[in-house]
Structure 1
């Protein structure tokens, strides 16, 4: 059978019956999902797309007229497309705070890195406490945990005690601590299958930044 051949009536009937059963099962499942809450969301893993996915969620919030905010912990010195777009066109709905100075091998000053991370977390606390902000993206905060710039236990204690009930907090970066993964409501691990960097291709505008 080619794509242009008509589909036999019996095949169409079987398909319709199968899809009807799937829809009924799906509808029954969805009837049990009625709760809402502010989520702790983690994007981690060695693959590309952790921050990109977080920014995609921020754009969804903007599309729904939901106030939101971004705090960048590591890549604050970078001129990224996300930063340009949000600060130029959506500053009324999304606050953008670049608190980092680059990766630790760029600054080569641990005390500066720790100070920048702590300043970022102080800003993040203020933003999270404000119930008007429906989503806060903590971009690359997992890197700050990994290098010991921030105490994950203190961050989790704050989220448990002070995060408003309907506020979503997204934490990105590879190497998310086990305690954060355990506490989170939604965790996605990005796997790496291929990456052009290994073939000598540098980071490019529109893909990496």
Structure 2
């Protein structure tokens, strides 16, 4: 029997041991914790889905959390149904929007609802019992100047409790928010079924 497989195994083990030692050295310098400002943006799908994934992680860890939806409040989404039916003791869910701006066609109403959503968001973020707040599609409200991005950034930087995480989703995140964030992920659109004539479907989009 050839010794070649054993040699390959030994080389692989040595390579992984070296990588682990380097990784352990890096991890040894990472001791601090803080409440993060997290931004999910970009034209690709998955921004809200990722935010709700973190909400479910919080629920699994028994961490009180909250959701404020700024645009899709009129939708009956799977996430909302699941959370309200099963986890309302751990996660508050506030649907403050009434649909996308091209559906409502009422700018003053959109501005009013966005500001109500932001007031609720501030209340939740300042609540010392809540550890994670998802501001779903707030970037849309900021993009259309329904909310003042400078006010949002100032509040997050100066008034947010030090250990509270806040995630803001929606495409076209404004530069001041990106600059203020600790973690920014841009979802890139490669392909989307909508462009092939396929509408949004249950379990995928909502």
Residues 27-70 of structure 1: per-residue CA shift (max 9 Å, x gap): 00000000000000000000000000000000000000000000
Equivalent residue, structure 1, for 2:203:
206
1:196 aligns with 2:193: yes
* Alignment check: 8 A CA contact 2:157 2:180 kept: no
Answer yes or no: is 1:54 the counterpart of 2:60. no
Tell me, yes or no, if structure 1 residue 24 matches structure 2 residue 21.
Answer: yes
Q: Does 1:120 align with 2:108?
A: no
**2:34 alignment partner, SS class:** coil
Unaligned runs of 5+ in 1: 1-5
The residue aligned with 2:155 is 158
Structural RMSD (CA): 1.2
1:78-97 superposed matches below 5 A: 78-97=75-94
- Provide Cα deviations, 1:75-97, integer angstroms capped at 9, x if missing partner: 00000000000000000000000
* Matched ranges for 1:160-199 at <5 A: 160-199=157-196
Distance 1:153 1:7 in 2: 62
Task: After TM superposition, give the deviation of residue 131 of structure 1 in Å.
Answer: 1.5
Residues 5-35 of structure 1 show CA distances to partners (whole Å, capped at 9, x for unaligned) of x971100100000000000000000000000
TM-score by length of 1: 0.96
TM-score by length of 2: 0.98
**CA distance in 1 between partners of 2:5 and 2:168 (Å):** 51
Corresponding position: 1:40 with 2:52:
no
TM superposition shift of 1:160: 1.5
Deviation, structure 1 residue 162: 1.1
The CA deviation string for residues 141-192 of structure 1, in whole angstroms up to 9 with x for no partner, is 0000111100010011111221101000000000000010000000000000
Q: Which runs of 4+ in 1 moved over 3 A?
A: none
In structure 2, C-alpha distance between the alignment counterparts of 1:73 and 1:37, rounded to whole Å? 26
Say which SS state the counterpart of residue 207 (structure 1) adopts.
coil
With over 3 angstroms needed to count, the CA separation of the structure-2 counterparts of 1:38 and 1:7, relative to structure 1, is farther
SS at match of 1:20: helix
Q: Which runs of 5+ in 2 are unaligned?
A: none
Q: Identify the residue that residue 3 of structure 1 maps to in structure 2.
A: none
